[in-house]
Structure 1
Amino acid sequence: VNLECSERVASWGLHLFDQTQGVLHEWGNDERELLWAAGILHNCGLYVSHASHHKHSYYLIRNGELLGYSEIEIEVIANLARYHRKSLPKKKHENYQNLPKKYQHMVSQLSALLRLAIALDRRQKGAIADVKCDFSQNKQEFYMWLRPANPEDDCALELWNLDYKKEAFEEEFALKLIAKLEPVMVSVSF
């Protein structure tokens, strides 16, 4: 696993979790830790094959021995990794169907956040320095204001990837996601 990239993804996942807690979800510290673990491990399936690596990640997490986690917590982490790309969680998926309703809801919401966290590090180089989230309830819109690490960077690939991956978030939270770069403040000196 590219640990540097995984740590950034996990960090963005926690950042988004914290900014949406109490606004879009009511999950607590235990669920936050599961999201962190999934952020760290989401790409472990790449060591088996790039094709369907999200499914390989599920298998490796589910069948590995993650110390310190209960069986249900391991199942949640594995499902979050499974749904970090491609298909959204579906009732016909046995791994998802076998989860109790509470955990299905958790996986649906947290995997939507994980997808956005991954998009924020699309180039795997830490192009985004900060993200501020804002929710407009009357418009049912969720804004993500991105600040690039390099002010010259338009972060086009990250913005494109957020647009590509926003479907899960929009469906799960019944919101329109709008991601933009923070306006750059230009100082003029005479």
Structure 2
Amino acid sequence: MESGLPISKTAGGLSLIAAPLVFAASTFFWKEGQYGVTGGTLINLSQVPWIIAFIVLFDKLKMEMPRYATVGLIVAIYGCLSGANFGFVGVYGEAFQIPHKTYLETLSHYSLSANLLLFWPGPLFPLSLLVLGIVLIRQKKVEVWLGALLCLGAIAFPLSRIPRIESIAHAVDILLALPLVVMGYKELITPKVENRPSHSIDQ
């Protein structure tokens, strides 16, 4: 079955692999629990392959669950927006020497913007992964163990980011990366079956 997306299997597979790995790399550059310039930059850049990865995964469900595939993808992309914005906060925080407490107090004066850009979409990222993992299992689009690991990583994700404990964050990063890297590898090695001509961003 052909996806019809303007994304080739190569780009999709590489994005599934790169998204969690680049994200995980950012944790090594935390400074006292804050993202900093390097960590914030990596988190921000990782959102590009994350969005492509979500497109690939939701595309697997578009035939059986077209509404969920469409709405779920929009919600997931909105969740990625939060990751990019938190990355910018980390960059600006270190570059301009703004303490974490100070920027939180300042943002409280702009609560609507802060919530729309940071705090409301933030939980949508792991929630999207959790629901996606469950649906992929139920629709038999991935092996049960891969979907289960994706769900576990999504559940554990807030536990690593709220307290900002590096050892826990590294463990969760690995847990989340494992199923996505395997899915990406399978995407790369599985031949694409085409029923009609389509365009892709690479061949």
Bigger strand share: 1
After TM superposition, is the score higher than 0.5? Answer: no
Interval containing the TM-score (normalised by the shorter chain): 0.3 to 0.5
Q: What is the TM-score normalised by the length of structure 2?
A: 0.32
Give the structure with the larger helix fraction: 2
